[in-house]
Chain A
Amino acid sequence: MSQANSGAVLAAEAENREFLVFSLGDEEYAIDILKVQEIRGYENVTRIANAPDFIKGVTNLRGVIVPIVDLRIKFHFETVEYGGQTVVIVVNVADRVVGIVVDGVSDVMTLTPDQIKPAPEFGVTLSSDFLSGLGSLDDRMLVLVDIDKLLTSDEMALVESTSSQ
């Protein structure tokens, strides 16, 4: 391979993005892998009274108190079960550590820019504001979630809304 060629490959690779793919029910979602701190099991969550139902509570992550959000409840999935496969993806957004409950984590995918399609206007459950696009991979479709925007949004009630500060 010539040098010019490898340079072009590197440039193209730089634009490729890696995503962590997880499942909610039968659907596949993905978030930017750089936001992910770790993946752990779902256990020992302390309920917080008077919080929205999708906020499961808080847990102890090596001395840090971390809120746990169940995206399945947030996205109105019908079956919400906690089992051996249920995992918590611990993400770092806006200087905060938040755990999100999902049905399972499948793999890490690299998407090239042309594999990312713009998200169409969605329904009310998941506003397209919170999506960075749709990833098409052969016959699979990944919903690319902008986890930053989603978790800091007012409707997630995770952060003190700016109006009250």
Chain B
Amino acid sequence: MDIADFFDTFFEEAEELLSDMEQHLLELDIDDPDSEQLNAIFRAAHSIKGGAGTFGFTVLQKTTHILENLLDYARKGELTLRADLVDTFLEAKDIMHEQLDAYRSEEEPNQEAFERICQTLQQIALDEIGQQLDGPATPASEPKASSASSENGAEGKSSEEKAANGHLLVALLNVEDKDRILLVEELEQLGEVQSQSGDAKRYEVILKSSDSADDIEAVMCFIIEPDQIEITAVEGVAAEPSPPEEESPAPAAPAPQAPAENTASKASPAKATAKEKPKKAAAESSIRVSVDKVDQIINLVGELIITQSMLDQTVSDLEEDQSVGNASLQNGMSLLQRNARDLQEAVMSIRMIPMEFVFSRFPRVVRDTAGKLGKEIELITEGKSTELDKSLVERITDPLTHLVRNSLDHGVEMPDVREAIGKPRIGKLTLSARHQGGNILIEVRDDGAGMDRDRLLAKARENGLNVSDTMPDEEVFQLIFAPGFSTAKEVTDVSGRGVGMDVVKRNIQSMGGRVEIQSKLGEGTNTRIVLPLTLAILDGMSIKVGGETFILPLSTVLESLQPSKDDMYAMAGDDVVIKVRDEYLPVIAIHEVLNVENAITDPTKSIAVIVQGEGRRYAMLVDELIGQQQVVVKNLEDNYRKVPGISAATILGDGSVALILDITGLHRLSRYKKEAGKKVVNNQNLSSFKEAEPS
């Protein structure tokens, strides 16, 4: 194994730890922090520090070290958590993430950010605990720590051996009253204080604790100097029958191994080992697989399917020739068919990852956005375990973030406004994901102000869009996806510039999905994203034009009909529209747009397929409908280039290539061709056409 592999492993792990840390920080109840959670945050910081130290990422190590120390105070209850402290911790986490990224791309991390965050954290330590954090684990601090432990080395050892017995005499020498109170409180955290007496010069505490003398001393050393403490083991104090009771010997065990290490880290292994075990077992039993490998398997399976359909063809041909002796062949075929399908499903599922990967970033987004806007929001996520193709998961995050921000900014009202109209002060934002048919349905729901139909229409008119008062709600709400459309009364730095929503819609459409909006004025808005489960396989409708076969994505097909002459109307120039149930749809003759020879040119003899793309409907004229089938989507751009009007290719049962049509692309192409007149359109001037299109 190469050292670079170790680096990669560290980066991956650190990334996970950081997101763990963020998640816990966000879930933390500030008023009553869960000690388990504080421990988890601390452990994450500690593990990152250790790894960073091993690989020589000093800046990251130092940042983590300071954060770790503060977290240590927090988990011991010495540092009272406040929202702004959590904010700072989150900021520190972000900076650590940046540092991690910098190391990953083999750059030096931003020194300025590093110094700033260190200072901020130090300041917190100073303000909140009145304690200067010892510097990062530089050599300078080490002698101090090691001398501390060596000083009472022999004593410490002997007391450790008796630690299981549990009674320690802790003597504090020359300690001021206020510090003493703190120290005793601290000792109470570590164990049970049996008795205490003495004065400022020598104050003795009998402590029943499972922690070793070293550990106790190390904790105390945050407040006083090591030579101010004496710890000795005492036996049989208070005549209590102290059997080898509930405190197992395990916690004491790790202590002697790391005498020179910093206190904070010293206390942790004992607790960490004990608590991490059940967590490990519960952790997802998953493996990391490179996407390339999975893609390769998917390709192979795709081919298997193709082979199978070729065989299928052969078998059915055979059937016509001779009916005897092919029963077993058919049996084998059906078996192969089933196996192939199962294998395909199994392999596809490798690519599937739960929506949790997307949703887990939203608590932070909501917190930050709500904070910026001064709103109070409760985020609810549903269906985190719903699985989606990895490539889609990566691409859905940005549009979803935009929709969430939009909902928070324009949807949910200010707390005071909400109270005034009788809504709960805290706004509710729900993110949900679930399967529906062959699709995944992702919803962003808020209980905010909802959309104002009249205002949208007024704004649309102002922008020169063609709208009418009788438009269905669904279409009115779709207006917000028009480029440059914003009804926000004022532009905030969260949203409102009118850029973005059109990008959201385009992104989702490029994934083969669509966005729907349901909204009720005063009650809230529900934005639904419908996505296919995967991009690798498509439900298609195969059609024939001339001698050529094309595939239409089934999701775009609404219906098909035989056009009659009475329903077709010519418009200025070459344009033709068809009337379908009181609606006039533009007609696209595929043979014209794609220059297919020997196709049926008389529209009344061809079939009109009504398709929907980007919210608009078109009628496509084709010669023949062949049928529905699942096709494996193959990229054309791998070896060739983007072709206008074509989204991808697939391989048919006979091994030949069929092109998958892109509805809106075809429409644009047909318009472009008409504008260009009868001029022969070739690829050269098509490139100018493409550049004009937003990609």
Contacts and interface: CB of A to CB of B under 8 A. Distances in A.
B371 interface: no
B657 A51 contact: no
A158 B656 CA distance: 20
A127 B638 CA distance: 27
Interface in A125-165: 157-161, 164
A49 B302 contact: no
Given A46-B658, A52-B684, A62-B303, A157 B644 contact: no
B509 to A, nearest CB: 21
A131 to B, nearest CB: 23
Contacts of B124: none
B659 interface: yes
B404 interface: no
Contact of B683 (A47, A50, A63, A97): A50
A134 to B, nearest CB: 30
Contact of B656 (A46, A49, A96, A97): A46
Interface string A59-100: 110111111000000000000000000000000000011100
B639 interface: yes
B302 A63 contact: yes
A76 to B, nearest CB: 16
B576 to A, nearest CB: 20
Contact of A67 (B548, B595, B640): B640
A44 B656 contact: yes
A146 to B, nearest CB: 19
Given A59-B657, A161-B687, A50 B639 contact: no
Interface in A14-69: 44, 46-52, 55, 57-60, 62-67
Given A44-B655, A46-B659, A50-B595, A66 B690 contact: no
Contact of A157 (B637, B638, B649, B684): B684
Given A62-B303, A65-B640, A97-B639, A48 B659 contact: yes
B635 interface: yes
Nearest to A164: B691
B633 to A, nearest CB: 10
B64 to A, nearest CB: 41
Nearest to B686: A50
Contacts of A48: 640, 643, 646, 659
A58 B302 contact: no
B651 A157 contact: no
Interface string B304-329: 00100000000000000000000000
Contacts of A164: 687, 690-691
Nearest to B690: A164
A66 B639 contact: yes
Interface string B611-648: 00000000000000000000000111111111111100
Q: Interface size for chain A: under 10, 10 to 19, 20 to 34, or 35 or more residues?
A: 20 to 34
B681 interface: yes
A140 B302 CA distance: 47
A58 B686 CA distance: 19
A52 B638 CA distance: 19
Nearest to B658: A46
Residue among B302, B593, B642, B655 with the most chain A CB within 10 A?
Answer: B655
A164 B306 CA distance: 35
Contacts of A67: 639-640
A44 B649 CA distance: 14
A59 to B, nearest CB: 6
Contacts of B638: 64-65, 96
B691 A60 contact: no
A96 B644 contact: no
Interface in B223-238: none
Contact of B657 (A65, A158, A159): A65
Contacts of B690: 164
A159 B649 CA distance: 17
Contact of B639 (A51, A62, A98, A161): A98
B596 interface: yes
Interface string B648-686: 010100111111000000000100000000000111101
Contact of B682 (A50, A97, A160): A50
Interface string B526-556: 0000000000000000000000100000000
Interface in A93-109: 96-98
B594 interface: yes
B683 A51 contact: yes
B635 A65 contact: yes
Contacts of B657: 44, 46, 57-60, 65
B339 interface: no
Interface in B172-227: none
A50 B594 contact: yes
A164 B642 CA distance: 12
9 nearest CB pairs, A to B? A49-B594, A46-B657, A67-B640, A157-B683, A63-B303, A44-B656, A96-B639, A60-B651, A65-B634
24 contacts: A46-B649, A46-B656, A46-B658, A46-B659, A48-B643, A48-B659, A49-B643, A50-B686, A51-B682, A51-B683, A52-B682, A63-B299, A63-B306, A63-B634, A64-B634, A64-B638, A65-B638, A66-B639, A96-B638, A96-B640, A158-B640, A159-B641, A160-B641, A164-B690
Interface of B: 299, 302-303, 306, 548, 593-596, 634-646, 649, 651, 654-659, 669, 681-684, 686-687, 690-691
Given A50-B643, A62-B303, A63-B303, 19 more contacts: A46-B657, A47-B548, A48-B640, A48-B643, A50-B669, A51-B683, A52-B682, A52-B683, A58-B636, A60-B655, A60-B657, A63-B299, A65-B636, A65-B649, A65-B651, A66-B639, A96-B639, A157-B687, A164-B690
